[in-house]
Chain A
Amino acid sequence: MAQVADPAAAAAVGGVPHGTRDVDARRAARRETLRLLLRKPGFVIGTAIVLVWVVCAIGGRSIAPFDPLATNGAFAHAGPGADGWNFILGTDRLGRDVLSRVIVGARDVLIVAPVSAVLGVVLGTFFGLLMGYYRGIVDDVLSRVVEAFLALPVTLVALLALVVLGPSKRTVIGVVGILFAPIVARTVRAAVLSERDLDYVQAAKLSGESGPYIMVREILPNVVGPIIVELTVRIGYAIFTIATLSFLGAGLQPPAPDWGLMIVEEYSQIIQGYWWPVLFPSIAIASIVIAANLIADALQSVLSR
C-alpha cells in the first residue's frame, strides 16, 4: 500500500507549475517524470504485470484456450498439467478450465475497479476542494461526515449497501466509488489547505475571481500530484475491495469467471486437496493488487520529489 505521507509537500512540488501555459515546458516536465519513473524497478515491474493483465482483458475469450463457462464432467478437478498439458492450470469442480477463467476474468477487474476508483476520486476531489477552500462551517460539517464514514470498514458498508441495492456491476462501481469519496476528500482537503494561503490564490481573490474559478483553475492544477497518487492507491484498494465483495457473494454472480467468485466457489474443497482452482485466481488477485501498489509507490516518490 502506498501512502501519501505528506500530501502538502507532494502538492507543493509535484503539481504542474501554475501559471505556466508554456506547452514545451510542460512536455519536458512530463518527460522528466517518465524518465524518473522508468528508473524505479517497482514501477517497471508493476507496469509489466498490469500490461500482462491488460492483454488478457483485451484478448479475453479469443486468447483463452477453452470456453471459460464450458463444463466437462470427464475432467472435473483435473490437476494442473492434466490431459497432456491441455489443462495447464487444471480444472475446477465442474471441469471448467482454470486458466481460461483466470484470463477472461481479467476484463471485469480492469474495468470495474478503475471506474469505481475514478468515481471516488472525482467525488472526493469535489468535496475536498470545497472543504479546503471554504473552510468554516462547510469544512466542519463535512469533516464530521467524513470521520463517520472512516469509522466503518469499506467492505462492510459496501456489503450492507449491496444487500439493499442488489449486486450488479453498476451497483458495485457506485457503492465502492461513493465509499472511497470521503477518504479521497480528506487527502485533497489537506493538499488544498496548504495551497489556499499561497500568494497566487490571494492574487486571484484580489483580482475578483470567483470561488469556483479559483478552486478549479488555480488550485486544482497544483494539487494534481497527490490526486494522481491517490487515484493509483484507490485502484489498488478497489481491486482489493471488489474481490472481497465477490468472495462474500455481493459482487458479480455465478457463473461469471470472476477471480473472487472462483475462490468462493472452490475454497470449501481445498481440504480434499483440490488447491489449484483456488490458488491460481488468488495469485491473479495478489499480483494485480501488488502491481497497483508498486506503481502507486513509485508515482508518489517521483511526484513528491
Chain B
Amino acid sequence: MSTSDAAAGGGDRARPPRVSARRPRGLTARLREAEFARFLLRRLGLALITLLLLSLIIFFITNVLPNNVGRTILGPFAPEESVVALNERLGTDRPLYEQYGSLLGSMVTFDYGESYQTGAPVSELLWTTLRNSAKLALLALVLTVPLGILAGVLAALRRDRPLDRVIVMAGLAGSAIPEFVTSTFLIVLLGLQLNVLPVLATAPPGSGPLTQIRYLMLPALAMAVVYFGYIARMARAGTIVALESDYTRTALMKGVRWPQVIRRHVLRNALVPTISVVATQVGYLFGGLLAVELIFNYNGLGRALVTAARAKDLPVLQAGVLIIGVIYMVATLLADILISYLNPRVRLGSER
C-alpha cells in the first residue's frame, strides 16, 4: 500500500500506518530505478488529483452551500444594495464555473485576491503569518520528535513493564486532550505557579533568537504534548514489530550482540512507520495551531484564520485552508519518497 494511505489514516490526526507486507527482493539495480521512477510518477499524479478534489471540497463549502456569500458575510439585516455590491467586489456574482476557474488559477499564481476585512492582499497576510507559524511548528517538532521516538523505543524494549505503561498512558492522555486545554494547564503550572516561562508567545521586537525561542516555549510545549503521544505510539509499535521479526531472531542466533542488533536491525526498521507519522503531523500541527496561537496571542496563520472566521472573511479562510491542505500533501509526499527510498518493499508493494 502507498504510505500516504497508511499515513493519512486518521482524519483529525494520524493513525499508525500498517506495516506493509514483505515482498521478495532480488531485482537488479536498473529495474529498481525504473520502479522508483514509476512510483514517483504515480504518487505525483495521485497528489495532483487529490489537490484538485481538495479545491473542489473547499469551493463547495464556501460557494455552493450558502448561495449568497455577500448575504452570509453581511448578515440578514444588511440592505440588498450592499450585498450586491459586496458580491460584485468579491466576484461571487459570477457563474460558479467561472468562480471555480479563478480559484484554480489562484492556486497557480498564488494571488488569492484581497481580504474582505482589511482590503490587503490575502497572499501577503498568509505569507507573513505562515512564516511565524512555521517557527512555532518547527520548535514543536524539534521538541517532540526525538523525545517521542526515544520514549516509544524505550517502551517497546520494556514492554508491559511499568515504564511502558507510564509512557503509553502519558501518550494517550497527552494526545487525547485538546491543545487549548493543554495550553491552559501549562500556563497555570509553568507560567503562573512556577513562573518560569512567559505566557505570551510574542517576544518584544528586536529580541534575539534565544529570547524568541523562550517566548515560543510554552505554545510549542502545548503542541508537543499532543504530538508526543502519536510519535511515541508509532515508534513503540514499529519497534515491537521489528523485535518480533525473523531478521532480529536470525541476527541474535548468529551471535550478533544485543546493542548492535538494536541499532542495526531493530531501529532501522522501526523508524520507517514513524517517518510517515511525523509527516502527517506536520499537516495536523497547523490544525492545532488555530487554538494555540489564539490562546498565546501569537501572530501566526492559525490566529489569522480564527480572526478571519470571526469576521466571516471568506477569501482569507478559503486560501488558508487550501494552503494547509497543500502543506499536508507536500509533507506526506516527501515522506513517501523518503520511505520508498529507504525501503524498496514499500514501492514494490504499492499496488493494493
A residues apposed to B, CB below 8 Å: 1, 3-6, 144-145, 147-157, 159-165, 179-180, 182-183, 186, 236-237, 240-241, 243-244, 247-250, 260, 263, 267, 270-271, 273, 275, 278-279, 282, 285-286, 289-290, 292-294, 297
Contact = CB atoms under 8 A, between A and B. Distances in A.
B318 A243 contact: no
Nearest to B56: A148
B309 A250 contact: yes
Given A3-B10, A290-B176, 18 more contacts: A1-B13, A144-B49, A144-B50, A147-B8, A151-B325, A153-B283, A153-B287, A157-B321, A160-B61, A164-B314, A241-B12, A244-B179, A244-B290, A249-B309, A270-B187, A271-B199, A286-B177, A293-B176
Nearest to B237: A5
Contacts of B8: 147, 150-151
A163 B172 CA distance: 31
B229 A248 contact: no
Contacts of B172: 1, 290, 293-294, 297
Given A148-B54, A164-B65, A248-B291, A289 B11 contact: no
Contact of B53 (A145, A161, A267, A275): A145
B261 interface: no
Contacts of B295: 267
B345 interface: no
16 contacts: A3-B15, A144-B50, A148-B56, A151-B283, A152-B321, A153-B286, A240-B178, A247-B180, A248-B290, A248-B309, A263-B180, A270-B184, A275-B184, A275-B187, A289-B176, A293-B176
Contacts of B306: 159, 248-249
A219 B269 CA distance: 35
B347 interface: no
Contacts of A247: 178, 180, 291, 294
Interface of B: 4-5, 8-13, 15-16, 18, 46, 49-51, 53-54, 56-58, 61-62, 65-66, 72, 172-173, 175-181, 184-185, 187-188, 191-192, 199-200, 229-230, 233, 237, 283-284, 286-288, 290-291, 294-295, 305-306, 309-310, 312, 314, 317-318, 321, 324-325, 328-329
Nearest to B331: A151
A204 B265 CA distance: 46
**Most chain-A Cβ atoms within 10 A of its Cβ — which of B16, B46, B176?**
B176
Contacts of A241: 12
Contact of A186 (B9, B237, B291, B317): B9
Contacts of A165: 65-66
B181 A282 contact: yes
Contacts of A153: 12, 283-284, 286-288, 324
Nearest to B198: A271
A159 B309 contact: yes
Contacts of B329: 151
B317 A267 contact: no
Contacts of B294: 247-248
B184 A161 contact: no
B58 A151 contact: no
B61 A161 contact: yes
**Most chain-A Cβ atoms within 10 A of its Cβ — which of B12, B284, B314, B324?**
B12
A285 B287 contact: no
A159 B15 CA distance: 22
Give 10 closest A-B pairs by Cβ, nearest first: A153-B287, A148-B53, A183-B11, A150-B8, A154-B12, A282-B181, A148-B54, A151-B325, A286-B177, A275-B188
Contacts of A279: 184-185, 188
A270 B218 CA distance: 14
A136 to B, nearest CB: 13
A282 B287 contact: no
Contacts of A297: 172
A292 B49 CA distance: 36
Given A243-B181, A244-B180, A285-B178, A152 B49 contact: no
A211 B73 CA distance: 46
A164 B72 contact: yes
Contacts of A236: 176
A249 B310 contact: yes
A148 B50 contact: yes
B309 to A, nearest CB: 5
Contacts of A182: 11
**Most chain-B Cβ atoms within 10 A of its Cβ — which of A148, A182, A290?**
A148
A275 B61 contact: no
**Most chain-B Cβ atoms within 10 A of its Cβ — which of A152, A164, A250, A275?**
A152
A45 B10 CA distance: 26
A1 B51 CA distance: 28
B59 to A, nearest CB: 11
A244 B178 contact: yes
Contacts of A271: 191-192, 199-200
Contacts of A4: 15
A289 B50 contact: no
A163 B313 CA distance: 9
Nearest to B310: A249
Nearest to B10: A183
A144 B55 CA distance: 13
Contacts of B178: 240, 243-244, 247, 285, 289
Contacts of B50: 144, 147-148, 151
A160 B65 CA distance: 11
Contact of B324 (A156, A270, A273): A156
B287 A155 contact: yes
Contacts of A150: 8, 10-11
Contacts of B15: 3-4
Contacts of B310: 249
Contacts of A240: 12, 176-178
Contacts of A282: 181, 184-185
Contact of B177 (A5, A179, A186, A289): A289
A151 to B, nearest CB: 5
